[in-house]
Chain A
């Protein structure tokens, strides 16, 4: 299972959508993987098989279908625990995605533990989903939100963390393991260790890291970790929130409803065991089972193989892109400090114009603020273009992008 014997060469044939054409017969070149990834046939079949053969609600009924559905759903929890080296399966909570996971922490942990005058620290390169929930919480509690800045290389200014920690008022440091705009890989271990020494909790947004590199939660030693299935070949609408058990036990429920209760009386209710206390209502059973197939697929290839493939592709792309007239590329040049996410701009050409021109060649890249307007302010731009890679992308895809970007430079006479 752990071997990296699967070749990436013919991997595109597992992805039906990559066979289609767009914009008058142009083969699709999909380079918006930081936003969402395409799904292999194995994942699509798993979802279809669930609805065709096993569909039933989980955790209650005694009949055969319900047992099969429950088993497949719970087996996914075990698979995720193994995938990320998590010791206790009851620490793995199914949510809709990273956004819901972070909101769950802000609501169910934050409202219990954050008081007036406390400080929550985030960073300038966070996605809106790791900023807005903390704005809501700190405003409600009279607490303060502070930011670790980003240097010109796209890396975090960690001495700022030190000075926040010195105040003794910091209760939580929350940051992404990989930036969705710059691709910067945070010094995760260093930040967690500093926080641990200061007795401060840490939350990691793993939405960009888990799909692209090996993550070992036990080794990291953080307190909260959230990520999404759809950015790693899985379906939309499924995410994981992991919370250290000793912390989870201090948290009140997030949503009230079915499945999260032990006993309900007219005015009092007792809670179900972990993790079910945090999984109210019928969950997204089919897509959790689809996610299971995605993890199998990634495991078969091996996360180290994926990381290496993306380093190679990013190196190739950065070298070629930097030669295009009028281009500015953001973020670190050190390939070991970044993932396969490349943000760039052309002199005075707005990213939407760039994305429209390359779209006509069948190439999908993102243009806009990437839900990171705080970072856009830091970079002093309104928006950027972003190309982001995954396992099915090839140097041929990069070549097509380069050719199309050269067209932009030519049209706008850069």
Chain B
């Protein structure tokens, strides 16, 4: 029996999801949920020299959410932050043959992209904090104050 969404690839990916678990002392830990359906995940990452050296996720999600989260973690593990920052939804969806969700399922696309949304939220929060703590941020502030 064939199904446009529930292919063997997706069901297998979700059932054998990679990088599921909890990281000790992560540099980035970001939780997000989809209030509509109750999908809820936490992404955790270790960052060394601007590279994501380790990543784990845990939470509750449907088959689409789990499969996409598994793919996302495999795509960015070992990559630098710029790669992760620029990661596009199409890259994740095409790994699973789910590009059609963008056009055909406005509801289920949210399940597919919850992990990407969580990743971006975590990354930007981390980067913002880093800038805030750095001397360059103080320099920027000083520069900005001189503008007025």
State the A residues within 8 Å of B (CB). Answer: 348-353, 356-357, 360, 367-369, 382-383, 407, 410-413
List 20 extra interface pairs beyond A350-B61, A353-B6, A382-B38, CB under 8 A: A348-B15, A350-B62, A350-B65, A352-B37, A352-B62, A352-B108, A352-B111, A353-B62, A353-B63, A356-B108, A357-B6, A360-B3, A367-B37, A368-B36, A368-B38, A382-B60, A383-B37, A383-B38, A407-B1, A412-B11
Pick the contact of B3 from A348, A349, A383, A411 — CB < 8 Å? Answer: A411
- Count CB-based A-B contacts (< 8 Å): 42
- Contact residues of B with A, CB < 8 Å? 1, 3, 5-6, 11, 15, 36-40, 60-65, 105, 108, 111
User: In the assembled complex, how far is the CB of residue A161 from the closest CB belonging to chain B, in whole angstroms?
Assistant: 30
In the complex, A412→B1 CA distance in Å?
11
15 of the cross-chain contacts (CB-CB < 8 Å) are A352-B37, A352-B39, A352-B64, A352-B111, A353-B6, A353-B62, A353-B63, A353-B64, A368-B37, A369-B38, A382-B38, A383-B37, A411-B1, A411-B3, A411-B11
B60 (CB) vs chain A CBs: closest residue: A382
CA distance A353 to B10 in the complex (A): 12
Closest to B10 in A: A353
Q: How many angstroms between the C-alpha atoms of A369 and B37 in the bound complex?
A: 8
Q: Which residues of B contact A412 (CB under 8 A)?
A: 6, 11
Contact A350 B63 (CB under 8 A): yes
**Main SS at interface, chain B:** loop
Bound complex: CA of A369 vs CA of B38, how far in Å? 7
Asked whether, in the complex, the Cβ of B3 is within 8 Å of the Cβ of A357, the reply is yes
**In this complex, what residue of A is CB-closest to B11?**
A412
CA of A283 to CA of B63, assembled, Å: 45
Contacts of A357 on B, CB cut-off 8 Å? Answer: 3, 6
Q: Is there an interface contact between B63 and A349, defined as CB atoms closer than 8 Å?
A: yes
Closest to B63 in A: A353
- Chain B residues lying within 8 Å of A351, measured Cβ to Cβ, are 62
- Tell me the minimal C-beta distance from A128 to chain B in angstroms: 12
Nearest-neighbour CB distance to chain A for B48, whole angstroms, equals: 34
Distance (whole angstroms) from the CB of B74 to the closest CB of chain A: 21
Out of A353, A368, A382, A410, name the residue touching B1 (CB < 8 Å): A410
By a CB distance below 8 angstroms, the chain A residues around B62 are 350-353
Cα A342 to Cα B6 in complex, Å, equals 24
Once A350-B62, A368-B37, A369-B38 are accepted as A-B contacts, the answer to whether A356 and B5 lie under 8 Å apart by CB is yes
Chain A residues with Cβ below 8 Å from B11 are: 411-413
Please report the C-alpha to C-alpha distance between residue A357 and residue B105 in the assembled complex, in whole angstroms.
13
In the A-B complex, list the 7 residue pairs whose CB atoms are closest, starting with the nearest: A350-B62, A352-B62, A382-B60, A353-B63, A411-B6, A353-B62, A383-B38
Determine the residue in chain A with the shortest Cβ distance to B111.
A352
**How far apart are B15's CB and chain A's nearest CB, in angstroms?**
7
Chain A residues with CB below 8 A from B65, complex form: 350
- Nearest chain-B residue to A353 (Cβ)? B63
Cα distance, A357 to B2, chains bound together (Å): 11
Residues of the B chain whose Cβ atoms lie less than 8 Å from the Cβ of A413:
11
Residues of A within 8 A of B6 (CB): 353, 357, 411-412
CA distance in complex: A412, B62 (Å): 13
Minimum CB–CB distance from A381 to chain B (whole Å) comes to 9
Complex: A190 Cα to B37 Cα, angstroms: 36
- Docked complex Cα distance between A69 and B126 (Å): 61
A353 to B108, CA, bound (A): 9
Chain A nearest CB from B52 CB (Å) reads 27
A350 to chain B, nearest CB (A): 3
Least CB distance from B20 to A in Å reads: 13
Q: Which residue of B lies closest to A351 (CB)?
A: B62
Q: State the CA gap A334–B45 with chains docked (Å).
A: 50
- Give A411 to B1 CA distance when docked, in angstroms: 7
Q: Measured between alpha carbons, how far is A367 from B38 in the docked complex, in Å?
A: 10
Q: How far apart sit A353 and B105, CA to CA, in the bound complex (Å)? A: 13
Chain A residues whose C-beta falls within 8 Å of the C-beta of B61 in the assembled complex: 350
Residues of A within 8 A of B105 (CB): 356
Identify the closest chain A residue to B108 (Cβ).
Answer: A356
